[in-house]
């Protein structure tokens, strides 16, 4: 749950999803079901391929589409900016601080 809220905190998600940045939640940490929020945002995408990957097929019992993991991996590896996302996500900011403390000699 936390990971998806961290993705929602980065405004580059709007470009990746081909949606308006105004659709991103203002407080992603407060999202009850951030994975569902991601899928619902993908439903609004102008990209047919992105919708096909992230949105479950009609009648499917799945929560996400079959291409969810590879598509979100692409976002993480090529587009996600944790340094920007932490500005909108207190939980990410705390996690990054804890990681920095753990790796500093």
Give SS3 for 58.
coil
- The stretches of the chain forming alpha helices (DSSP H) are 2-8, 12-17, 34-43, 48-54, 68-78, 82-85, 90-103
The first and second tokens of residue 83, run together, are: 């340094």
Task: Kindly report, residue by residue over 29-77, the tens digit of the pLDDT.
Answer: 999 999 999 999 999 999 999 999 999 999 999 999 999 999 999 999 9
Beta-carbon contacts of residue 59 (< 8 Å; ≥ 6 apart): none
Confidence check: pLDDT of 25 > 80: yes
Threshold 0.85, pTM exceeds: yes
pLDDT at 13: 98
Percent of the chain with pLDDT over 90: 93
């Amino acid at each position: 749950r936390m990971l998806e809220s961290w993705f929602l905190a980065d405004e580059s998600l709007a470009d990746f999803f081909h949606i308006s940045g105004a659709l991103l939640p203002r407080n992603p940490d407060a999202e009850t079901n951030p994975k569902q929020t991601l899928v619902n945002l993908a439903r609004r995408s102008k990209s047919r391929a992105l919708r096909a990957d992230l949105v479950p097929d009609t009648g499917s019992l799945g929560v996400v589409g079959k291409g969810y993991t590879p598509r979100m991996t692409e976002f993480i590896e090529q587009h996600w900016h944790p340094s920007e996302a932490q500005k909108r996500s207190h939980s990410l900011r705390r996690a990054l601080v804890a990681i920095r403390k753990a790796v500093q000699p």
